[in-house]
A and B are shown apart, each in its own frame.
Chain A
Amino acid sequence: MPLDSSKNKSKNKKIININNKTKFLEAWRAFKSNRLALIGLAASLALFALAFGGSLAIPFDNAIKQNISQRFTPPCLEHPLGTDGLGRDMLARMLHGAKVSLTMGFIPMAASMLAGMFFGGIAVLLGGWVENLIMRVCDIMTCIPAILLALAMVAALGPGLGNVLVAITIASVPDLTRYVRSVILGIAGLEYIEAARACGASGGAIIVRHILPNAMGPLLLGAVSNISGMIMAGAGLSYLGLGIQLPNPEWGAMLAESQSYFLRAPYLMVAPGIAILVSVFAFNLAGDGLRDALDAKLR
């Protein structure tokens, strides 16, 4: 712990700087040693590469070109993943859908995480009526049925990928805020806060240097474990007219519509299902590794 005596201030600053760098290196080393985390990271990068590279390799037309006489063809040489109900090539659709689905899983997660940390953090930090206000607003937002919220957004904003991301993020923020607050209250964060305040640290510094590292672990966990939920939420929203419009492919929508074909063409469920599964695994493993690495740094 840095001493707070003015005589040693400049020396302390240097110690702090070295501490930060060492902490970062330590964290990286911890991360590297965790094989699962590395696999997660590698898989995540591979997914992104596939998403953006693959869609360059295969023209978009292949993903939407219909061939009614060839619909429901099982996997074969010409169509390695088969064709769907309109005769469209599943492989092309999977590759082009990757971009959209990964975005829908990743961006709302990151955005709502940040928002949750912010609101949850200041709620605990400031306490009193501010905390009450923030939490009650979260409660009220959660009480409005998701569909109504979505319909209101469609009516107000119209369709489009950007608006879907906004919708999913807004819908996730109350949950994460509440979660962050409960994590901070539940663990020993409070004592760090008291101690930091006693040392004269400002509100902002408290949030960044003390609350964040403690909350980061469970927070990453909470946000990252909801990725498949967000992808499926995106599919559900497009039903209401908010989001990716037909015929553009998207994994969540492809999985949802494969339900009606599951006895006729079970292979249609496999590709999007596995893709979502792999994405969830990849992000989670990487996230877990990050959390464990940061933890190691703290211990």
Chain B
Amino acid sequence: MARHALNRTLLLIPSLFLVIFLIFAILNLIPGDPGRMHLGIEATQEAVDMFNRQFGLDKPFLTRFTTYVTGIATRFDFGLSYRTREAVMPAVLSRVPPTFAIALFGVSGAVLFGVPLGVLAAIKRSTLTDTNVTALALLLSAIPNFWLGLMLLQLFSVVLSILPTYGASSWKSFILPSVALALPGSSGFIRLARATMLDVVHQEYITTARAKGAPEYSVIWRHAFRNAALPLINGAGLMFAGLLGGAVIIEAVFSLPGLGRLMVTAIQQRDIPIVMGCAIFLSFVFMAIILIIDLIYAALDPRIKLRYQKGGK
């Protein structure tokens, strides 16, 4: 088991390398001139050429890639942003806190709101409660999170003026974006919790536990839920990782200086070092989360641990 964990951790490095290579390649192959994008379309061609020369953009692809990767490997040097000429990693990391906050609160809200409802629906299967909860889940899944954000903003910030309309200045700024992410996100958890609980509740080991005389709550929470928890952990981890880089529209609606917006703006402007920096950070976090989830799976479910120990078959 430990060997498997070590294997996976070591695999992170070539995986990351491949991601870096692919993203670098795409950035350099799609049309778009960083010089012209940063200087403005009205800039003279001489100025554009000067800009590109200063950042080494006139050199061939492989040379640039090798220089870039060597810089990272030897000095943790991720280059300078084309737009601000600041060091890339500190700039990227400074944009993480607001995104981290809404991702965390969004996922927590979604789980805390969705899972109990889903479990409830599973327990009271085919009753009115079940129907209502399912309908609610459907409704929530169809609402785009940015639309909900806009409505909430209009109501609480403009009409009622009790919450700020923009920025990350106080804890109040994080309430609305988190709600806008949590509510639609909870729909997945409601239905997932319901489905997996339904599957598990009918398994034999549950019947056995009941037959043994275990109290109902123990049956539900200790036996049923433990196994139903695995896809939920998977879902929560993935949602979190996804929001770190993907909450762009919410960040735009609430004017949050987050990581998603940084990356999207950098892509549009072809600020290649920043795009690479964001992508590397997000990839690293994502792969780490996947690894942790897989290890949790093994820890919680002895059958899976067995699989890894046996090396697969």
**Which residues of A are in contact with B by a Cβ distance under 8 Å?**
36, 126-129, 131-132, 135-136, 139-140, 142-149, 151-152, 154-155, 175, 178-179, 182-183, 185-188, 190, 217-218, 221-222, 225, 228, 232, 255, 259, 262, 273, 276-277, 280-281, 284-285, 288, 291, 295, 299
Contacts and interface: CB of A to CB of B under 8 A. Distances in A.
Given A36-B131, A178-B238, A185 B301 contact: yes
Nearest to A225: B141
A151 B264 CA distance: 12
Interface string B139-179: 10111101100100000000000000000000000000000
B134 interface: yes
Given A140-B18, A151-B26, A217 B195 contact: yes
Contact of A148 (B18, B27, B191, B195): B27
B303 A190 contact: yes
B279 A155 contact: no
10 closest A-B pairs (Cβ-Cβ)?
Answer: A128-B312, A127-B312, A143-B283, A186-B230, A280-B142, A182-B234, A277-B142, A143-B19, A152-B26, A228-B142
A140 B231 contact: no
Nearest to A258: B147
Interface in B245-300: 245-246, 263-264, 267, 275, 278-279, 282-283, 286-287, 290, 297
Contacts of A273: 147
Nearest to B137: A225
A57 to B, nearest CB: 27
Contact of A144 (B23, B195, B290): B23
Given A131-B312, A151-B26, A190-B303, 18 more contacts: A127-B311, A128-B312, A136-B15, A140-B18, A143-B283, A145-B279, A148-B23, A151-B267, A155-B31, A186-B230, A187-B196, A217-B199, A222-B188, A225-B141, A228-B141, A228-B144, A232-B144, A281-B142
A145 B303 contact: no
20 contacts: A36-B131, A126-B312, A128-B313, A132-B11, A136-B15, A143-B282, A149-B26, A152-B30, A155-B29, A179-B231, A179-B234, A185-B230, A186-B230, A190-B303, A190-B307, A218-B195, A218-B231, A225-B141, A225-B187, A259-B146
Contacts of A281: 138, 142
A284 B29 CA distance: 40
Given A152-B30, A218-B196, A288 B134 contact: yes
Nearest to B188: A225
Contacts of B142: 228, 276-277, 280-281
Chain B binding surface, main DSSP class: helix
Contacts of B301: 185-186
Contacts of B191: 221, 225
B311 A128 contact: yes
B260 to A, nearest CB: 9
A149 B142 CA distance: 25
A148 B187 contact: no
Nearest to B7: A132
B29 A152 contact: yes
Interface of B: 11, 15, 18-19, 22-23, 26-27, 29-31, 131, 134, 138-139, 141-144, 146-147, 150, 187-188, 191-192, 195-196, 198-200, 202-203, 227-228, 230-231, 234, 238, 245-246, 263-264, 267, 275, 278-279, 282-283, 286-287, 290, 297, 301, 303-304, 307, 311-313
Given A152-B30, A185-B301, A175 B313 contact: no
A142 B286 contact: yes
B291 to A, nearest CB: 9
Contacts of A128: 311-313
A154 B312 CA distance: 39
Contacts of B267: 145, 147-148, 151
Contacts of A139: 15, 286-287, 290
Given A140-B15, A143-B19, A188-B203, A129 B138 contact: no
A221 B134 CA distance: 12
B23 A145 contact: yes
Contacts of B22: 140, 144
A36 B11 CA distance: 47
Nearest to B14: A136
Given A185-B297, A225-B141, A299-B202, A143 B286 contact: yes
A288 to B, nearest CB: 7
A146 B246 contact: yes
A131 B199 CA distance: 25
Nearest to A154: B30
Of B199, B238, B263, B287, the most chain A CB neighbours within 10 A belong to B199
Contacts of A131: 312
B15 to A, nearest CB: 6
Contacts of B31: 155
Nearest to B290: A139
Contacts of B275: 145, 148
A127 B313 contact: yes
Nearest to A186: B230
Contacts of B290: 135, 139
B286 to A, nearest CB: 6
Contacts of A285: 138
A277 B142 CA distance: 5
A110 to B, nearest CB: 18
Nearest to A269: B147
A284 to B, nearest CB: 5
